[in-house]
Amino acid sequence: MTIPLNDISAFLGGLHPYDGLTVADRETLAAAIQVLDLPAGATIYRHGQPLDGLYIVWSGTVEVVDANDIPVSILGPRNSFAERGLLREGVAVTTATTTEPTVLLMLPKMQFAELVHDHQIARRFFDRSRTPAPRGSDLATSRVETFMHHSAYFCMPGTTVQDAAREMRDRHVSCLCVLENDALVGIVTNRDLTEKALADGMPIDTHVSSVMTKDPMTLEPSAIGSDVLHAMMERRIGHIPITQNGSLVGIVTQTDLTRFQAVSSAELVAEIAGSGTAEEMAAVTARIPKLLVQLVAAGNRHEVVTRLITDVADTATRRLLALAEEALGAPPVPYLWAACGSQGRQEQTGVSDQDNCLIIADGVTHDQMDYFRRLAQFVCDGLNTCGYVYCPGDMMATAERWCQPLSVWRGYFENWINKPSPEAQMLASVMFDLRPIGGDTAMFKDLQLDTLRKASSNSIFVAHMISNSLKHTPPLGLLRGFATIRSGEHKNQIDLKHNGVVPIADLGRVYALQGQLTAFNTRARLEGAAGAGLISPSGARDLLDAYDLIAETRLQHQARLVKAGEAPDNFMSPSSLSDLERSHLRDAFVVVKGMQAAIGHGKGALS
């Protein structure tokens, strides 16, 4: 089949990233393209074979399967494929077959390499690996939307100065924006009330329009901190309304600037360490969403963000343990407080419950156990007050099952390993993420090493753990889209936790068992697995890149919600992403599905 060059060039002009090229560059590209007219059932390439180039579907349908013949995509016109293999070693990482008569455009690998090298728009589209995010951790380079106060209180021009003063007092604010017909016409501050109304002896029923600053300077949410700093210093003002498309959306005060500079994990840790009650700590942990926004806006890597947020939870836990000992007295025998779940893996985000347990030294008496039950209640109640809500599954030290002597814990793990029932697999998955937080942390080392040794040498247990790890699957739809939630509160959304990062955390846990890796964190486990040869270098690179993209997408989603004044969650609508972002995210999920299939087929998972 022959297709005129002009038609190919026009076709490319309607596709990203080629639509960002000049007409001349597209014509050069079109001249290099080969047209392939294939019958149904034709194999375009097989897994492991050298690739000839990049393929774009002109007409027809192509099925793409992974190394284990599991379908990952059904591609139609305008879809491209084979780029991942081309950007690795030039070897196919999937198998592609036509399912009906199909016409393909094939850009030879040399011209594809030149396209990616010469054009940033193509490089950004095709290269799915992690790129360093621009850093901007200081106030001057941070966007106003990351630190402005989203609730800007207001009054009308006819409001009296007395009513305005009362409103500011009751709201604990230092200014009110003045609106007329929803338009910002002024701002009245504490300084206006004292230096104009009070100092000049104006009647208390004087309208704020008489003392307000008319038509105040405003900025947009996209402004940066230096814009605020320069404006405040130049104009000697302490309040700047933030507007967007003419509407009031927030305000920035000197207090906001101070708060922003003070919101760091170190500052939160220091305040918690000096707190005397759970309520005092709760006032500090309430700033974690703001910390999340700031850390994400600063371009920090996802594992850094979650580590810093988890450090706050660890500090709160240790402070509550200290307060509990002050209230209850010294513990009768040594104990270890351990966390599991996201805190155990050092992967907490803006929304986390608590998962913890108590391991008590052998020799503890029946009467002494009452001390540890009260200690567990004190700490778990305090964590709940701090926003780390009670675990819905009761995986907490307050449950008798998870508040036991060390010998009982050894028995738990031995039983789970030797008799891997479905419940045992679930519990082992949770408890293999245990990390010591407080108390006698030395109690943990021998327990961890002994358990890893026994678990890795039991092939049946490992096979069961592999099968259990495959229960959480990426949200992939075959038709180049996402399998979104079909009904309920989160209809048409994807769960970036249970179908996003959890499948990778499950893989990391299995690799840790197989390699007797002592790392707690998922990314550290993946890196350790690569170093130990448990996964191939190319597979490790792909999985790490996929994990980074999914985890950072999740954090960016939560940060957007916080900036909008909403509570962070894990449910995101794919439509909120750009075409480029959706394409990259889907490719990341394809990598995860492929690695799940590889460990399922290659390591003896039970069906």
Mean pLDDT on 312-333: 95
Contact 535, 517 (CB under 8 A): no
What pLDDT does 136 receive? Answer: 46
Angle at 289 between CA 288 and CA 293, to 5 degrees: 115
How do the residues of the chain divide into helix, strand and coil, expressed in percent and rounded to 5?
50, 15, 35
Q: Does domain 265-446 have CATH number 3.30.460.10?
A: yes
**Amino acid identity, residue 190?**
N
Cβ-based neighbour number of residue 19 at 10 Å: 11
Q: Which two tokens stand for residue 589?
A: 């999920």
Sign of torsion, CA 505 511 515 516? positive
Mean pLDDT on 392-415: 95
Contact 92, 82 (CB under 8 A): yes
Please report which helix (H) or strand (E) contains residue 102, including its range.
strand 102-108
Q: Whole-angstrom Cα distance, residue 427 to residue 407?
A: 17
Please report which helix (H) or strand (E) contains residue 273, including its range.
helix 265-273
Contact 352, 306 (CB under 8 A): no
* Partners of 155 in beta bridges: 178
**Amino acid identity, residue 265?**
S
What pLDDT does 604 receive? Answer: 35
Q: Whole-angstrom Cα distance, residue 348 to residue 356?
A: 14
Classified as helix, coil or strand, 385 is helix
Instruction: Give 174-190 pLDDT, tens digit per residue.
Output: 999 999 999 999 999 99
What pLDDT does 607 receive? Answer: 36
Contact 549, 496 (CB under 8 A): no
Instruction: Give 246-297 pLDDT, tens digit per residue.
Output: 899 999 998 888 667 656 777 788 889 899 999 999 999 999 998 999 888 8
- pTM of the predicted model, to two decimals? 0.73
Q: Whole-angstrom Cα distance, residue 13 to residue 20?
A: 8
Residue 52 has pLDDT above 50, yes or no: yes
Instruction: Give 65-111 pLDDT, tens digit per residue.
Output: 887 787 778 888 988 999 988 987 889 988 999 999 999 999 999 99
CATH of domain 468-602: 1.20.120
Q: What is the mean pLDDT of the chain?
A: 89
Least confident of 333-337, 429-433, 488-492: 429-433
What pLDDT does 183 receive? Answer: 93
Nearest of 315, 318, 312, 311 to residue 335 by alpha carbon: 318
pLDDT > 70 fraction of the chain, expressed in percent and rounded: 95
What pLDDT does 606 receive? Answer: 38
Please report which helix (H) or strand (E) contains residue 130, including its range.
none
Q: Whole-angstrom Cα distance, residue 534 to residue 532?
A: 6
Instruction: Give 198-230 pLDDT, tens digit per residue.
Output: 888 999 999 999 999 999 999 988 888 878 887
What pLDDT does 164 receive? Answer: 95
**Amino acid identity, residue 597?**
A
Mean pLDDT on 556-571: 92
Least confident of 213-227, 464-478, 553-567, 591-605: 591-605
Q: The sheet that has 102-108: what strands, in order across it?
A: 34-38, 102-108, 53-59, 80-81
pLDDT > 90 fraction of the chain, expressed in percent and rounded: 61
Superfamily (CATH H level) for 5-126: Jelly Rolls (2.60.120.10)
CA R_g for the chain? 29
Nearest of 146, 190, 143, 141 to residue 164 by alpha carbon: 190
Mean pLDDT on 299-304: 86
Mean pLDDT on 507-523: 91
Whether residue 17 has a cis bond before it, omega within 30° of 0: yes
Contact 51, 109 (CB under 8 A): yes
Contact 550, 496 (CB under 8 A): yes
What pLDDT does 333 receive? Answer: 97
Averaging pLDDT over each range in 139-153, 201-215, 437-451, 526-540, which range is the top one? Answer: 201-215
What pLDDT does 134 receive? Answer: 47
Q: Whole-angstrom Cα distance, residue 461 to residue 464?
A: 5
Q: Whole-angstrom Cα distance, residue 189 to residue 155?
A: 12
**Amino acid identity, residue 155?**
C
**Sequence spans of domains, the chain:** 5-126, 139-260, 265-446, 468-602
What pLDDT does 129 receive? Answer: 62
Class of domain 139-260: alpha beta
What pLDDT does 278 receive? Answer: 96
**Amino acid identity, residue 293?**
V
Residue whose pair of structure tokens reads 């390439």 in the numeric block: 45
- E strands in 272-430: 335-339, 356-360, 403-405
Instruction: Give 472-488 pLDDT, tens digit per residue.
Output: 999 988 666 899 999 99
Residue 568 has pLDDT above 50, yes or no: yes
What pLDDT does 222 receive? Answer: 83
Residue 605 has pLDDT above 60, yes or no: no
Q: Whole-angstrom Cα distance, residue 480 to residue 85?
A: 18
